[in-house]
């Protein structure tokens, strides 16, 4: 993104904030970059999904990667070579994301860091006027979600969150069927994820920080703890300091579509039960087994997860089941089907046999993001959607931690008469990092 464009966005948004108006850039962002101009990205966090997102970005026409950032020099060096193979040109490497944000000529920032490191780079990038693709879940706490939503609204950035099922055609078609009303009154929604390939994480001793890793920077705003490989790279998601376990990992994908189908994003109350029942003595902190029940105005939603087994509803290891008076629609990453409800020996609607998906959700999601930047096309997962879904998942975790039914005041983003539950809403950042104020 040319510096003058970033300056324009920042100054316009700042001026609008002062006089209490919406950023004027929100109505202009489709016309600043030409449809055939090259989009240049920088990526913060390139070990896992960050690199998958980058490959999806580079598979789109007129794209380039100019900069990568990672606190692990070993990962960074590998990804620089990988990108050079893809595009024939090596990006510049950084270990501090703040330096990457100063790299001249960037248009887009992709954030692929662990959950606890989403908010600060997102806010900095938004304030600089970059368009942003951020991995899911949006953030690691509810207040961080609120902050990120506010900053994007203030600065008018084009923001897509990596809940790529939103762009997967068969998921979209399934929801069109749900919205058609053919299922009749939907009384409950089942959302679940049983992942047999996710095994127990054995306890290991703390160890020296691996060579080439800036571990203090990796911890960032999280508590200062000795290095342990279980808390690093992929398995970070099973520790509360950095993520929310299966509830926010798979949950934001699956719960997303449950909420999408019902057109509601703020539950009235939630209760949850579970624990480390399968692997009580392993290294993980987050529960390997959990059920959370959400109350909405006229339906309930169940979230159910299990690690280490593939048992699930309707013979599927993951998915969403919309249970209506006339039948149930079941959808997962493989496809969707409708199971009629027999009444008096006769089905109330026609069965829909399995309609398979094409597995192109992520490429389509990235194409939608780029189209949003260049043409102002409506995004499939803007930050408002992602924030609502992430908040719902975090509510389930807070209910699990408190062990009781919680009542949610969505308008004020707090629990009703529950100071203990409220204590989980706002993270405590480790110095010198400060929770952004927007």
Residue with tokens 């309707």: 314
Q: Tens digits of per-residue pLDDT, 55-94?
A: 999 999 999 999 999 999 999 999 999 999 999 999 999 9
The answer to the question of residue 436 being in a domain is: no
Longest alpha-carbon distance in the chain:
69
Residue 18 reports pLDDT greater than 90: no
Residue 109 domain-assigned (yes or no): yes
Task: Indicate if the pLDDT at residue 144 is higher than 90.
Answer: yes
pLDDT value at position 7?
Answer: 54
Query: Which of 402, 107, 137 is CA-nearest to residue 149?
Result: 137
Residue pair 121/67 in contact (Cβ under 8 Å)? The answer is: no
Residue 432 lies in a domain: no
CA atoms within 13 A on the CB side of 151: 26
Taking the C-alpha atoms of residue 406 and residue 424, their distance in angstroms, rounded to an integer, is: 12
Measured CA to CA, the distance from residue 271 to residue 15 in angstroms comes to: 43
- Calculate mean pLDDT across residues 5-24: 43
62 in the same domain as 177: no
Say what the pLDDT of residue 33 is: 59
Residues 214 and 351 in one domain: yes
301 or 4, higher pLDDT: 301
Lowest mean pLDDT segment, chosen from 131-145, 162-176, 196-210, 339-353: 339-353
Which pLDDT belongs to residue 344?
Answer: 77
Neighbours of 184 (CB within 10 A): 14
State how far the Cα of 240 lies from the Cα of 184, in Å rounded to an integer. 40
Are both 157 and 203 inside the same structural domain? no
Q: Is residue 433 part of a domain?
A: no
Mean pLDDT of the chain: 93
User: Is-contact 162 133, C-beta < 8 A?
Assistant: yes
Instruction: Give CA–CA dist 381/204, Å, rounded.
Output: 38
Tens digit of each residue's pLDDT (9 = 90 or more) over 37-56: 899 999 999 999 999 999 99
CA distance 68 to 111: 10
Q: Which residue has the tokens 């001793």?
A: 205
Q: How far apart are CA 160 and CA 357, in angstroms?
A: 22
Q: Between these two residues, 147 and 17, which has the higher pLDDT value?
A: 147
Q: How far apart are CA 295 and CA 273, in angstroms?
A: 15
Instruction: Tell whether 26 and 101 lie within a shared domain.
Output: yes
Angle at 9 between CA 138 and CA 103, to 5 degrees: 75
Average pLDDT for 178-200: 96
Q: Render pLDDT for 397-420 as a digit per residue (tens, 0 to 9).
A: 999 999 999 999 999 999 999 999
Same domain, 338 and 372: no
Strand intervals (E) in 52-208: 63-69, 92-94, 108-111, 131-134, 159-161, 186-195
Binning pLDDT at 50, 70 and 90, where does residue 156 land?
very high
More confident of the two residues 42 and 2: 42
Q: Which of 145, 166, 148 is nearest to 157 (CA)?
A: 148
| Contact of 223 with 431, CB cutoff 8 Å | no
The answer as to whether 437 is a domain residue is: no
Confidence of residue 345 (pLDDT cuts 50, 70, 90): confident
Question: In total, how many domains does the chain have?
Answer: 2
Give yes or no for a contact between 415 and 406, defined as CB atoms under 8 angstroms apart: yes
pLDDT reading at 173 higher than 70: yes
The one-character DSSP state at 166 is G
Residue indicated by tokens 């997860």: 305
146 and 208: one domain? no
Q: What is the CA radius of gyration of the chain?
A: 22
Domain that holds residue 120: 3-166+365-383
Report yes or no on 299 lying in a domain.
yes
Higher-confidence residue of 138 and 25: namely: 138
Dihedral-angle region of residue 320 (phi above 0 means left; psi in -120 to 50 means alpha; beta otherwise): beta
Tell me whether residue 427 is in a domain: no
76 and 220 in a single domain? The answer is: no
In this structure, are 304 and 158 located in the same domain?
A: no
74/200 same-domain check: no
Model pLDDT for residues 265-311, shown as the tens digit of each residue: 999 999 999 999 999 999 999 999 999 999 999 999 999 999 999 98
Q: Give the burial string for 160-181 (b: 16+ CB within 10 Å, else e).
A: bbbbbbbbbebbbebbebbeee
Residue 209 sits in a domain of what CATH number?
3.30.360.10
The confidence score (pLDDT) of residue 32 equals 53
Q: Could you tell me where the DSSP H helices lie in 31-72?
A: 49-58
**92-107: buried (b, 16+ CB within 10 Å) or exposed (e) per residue?**
ebbbebeebbeeeebb
pLDDT for 16: 43
Q: How many residues does the chain have?
A: 438
| Residue-level pLDDT at 21 | 31
Residues 115 and 174 in one domain: no
Say whether pLDDT at 152 is over 90.
Answer: yes
Based on the domain organization, do 193 and 127 belong to the same domain? no
Task: Say yes or no to pLDDT of 8 above 60.
Answer: no
Contacts of 320 (CB under 8 A, 6+ apart): 189, 190, 191, 254, 257, 258, 261, 330, 331, 332
Q: Give the pLDDT score at 15.
A: 43
Closest CA to 290 of 403, 421, 205: 403
Please check whether residues 375 and 400 belong to one and the same domain. no
- Give the CATH number, domain containing residue 88: 3.40.50.720
Residue 429 maps to a domain: no
For 345-363, what is the mean pLDDT?
92
pLDDT at 54: 98
């Amino acid at each position: 993104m040319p510096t003058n464009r970033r300056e324009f966005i920042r100054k316009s948004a700042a001026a609008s904030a002062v006089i209490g108006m919406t950023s004027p850039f929100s109505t202009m962002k489709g016309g600043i970059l030409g449809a055939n101009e090259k989009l240049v990205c920088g990526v913060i966090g390139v070990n896992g999904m960050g690199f998958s997102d980058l490959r999806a970005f580079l598979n789109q026409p007129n794209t380039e990667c100019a900069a990568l950032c990672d606190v692990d020099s070993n990962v960074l060096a590998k990804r620089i070579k990988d990108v050079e193979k893809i595009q024939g040109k090596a990006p510049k490497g950084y270990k501090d994301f703040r330096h990457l944000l100063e790299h001249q000529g960037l248009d887009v920032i992709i954030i692929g860091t662990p959950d606890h490191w989403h908010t600060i780079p997102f806010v900095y990038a938004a304030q600089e006027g970059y368009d942003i693709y951020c991995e899911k879940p949006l953030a690691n706490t509810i207040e961080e979600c609120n902050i990120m939503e506010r900053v994007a609204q203030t600065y008018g950035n084009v923001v897509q969150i990596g809940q790529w099922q939103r762009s997967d055609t068969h998921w979209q078609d399934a929801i069109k069927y749900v919205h058609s009303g053919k299922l009749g009154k939907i009384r409950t929604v089942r959302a679940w994820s049983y992942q047999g390939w996710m095994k127990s994480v054995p306890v290991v001793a703390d160890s020296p920080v691996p060579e080439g890793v800036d571990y203090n920077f990796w911890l960032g705003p999280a508590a200062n703890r000795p290095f342990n490989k279980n808390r690093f790279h992929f398995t970070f998601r099973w520790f509360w300091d950095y993520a929310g376990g299966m509830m926010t990992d798979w949950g934001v994908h699956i719960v997303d579509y449950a909420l999408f189908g019902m057109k509601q994003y703020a539950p009235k109350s939630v209760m949850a039960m579970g624990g480390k029942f399968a692997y009580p003595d392993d290294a993980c902190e987050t529960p390997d087994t959990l059920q959370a029940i959400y109350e909405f105005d006229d339906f309930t939603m169940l979230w159910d997860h299990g690690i280490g087994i593939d048992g699930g509803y309707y013979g599927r290891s993951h998915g969403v089941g919309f249970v209506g008076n006339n039948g149930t629609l079941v959808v997962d990453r493989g496809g969707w089907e409708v199971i009629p409800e027999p009444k008096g020996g006769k089905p109330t609607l026609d069965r829909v046999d399995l309609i398979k998906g094409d597995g192109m959700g992520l490429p389509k999601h990235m194409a939608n993001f780029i189209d949003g930047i260049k043409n102002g096309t409506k995004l499939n997962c803007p930050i408002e959607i992602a924030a609502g879904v992430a908040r719902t998942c975090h509510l389930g975790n807070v209910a699990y931690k408190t062990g009781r039914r919680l009542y949610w005041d969505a308008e004020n983003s707090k629990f009703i008469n529950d100071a203990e539950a409220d204590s989980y809403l706002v993270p405590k950042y480790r110095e010198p990092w400060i929770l952004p104020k927007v």
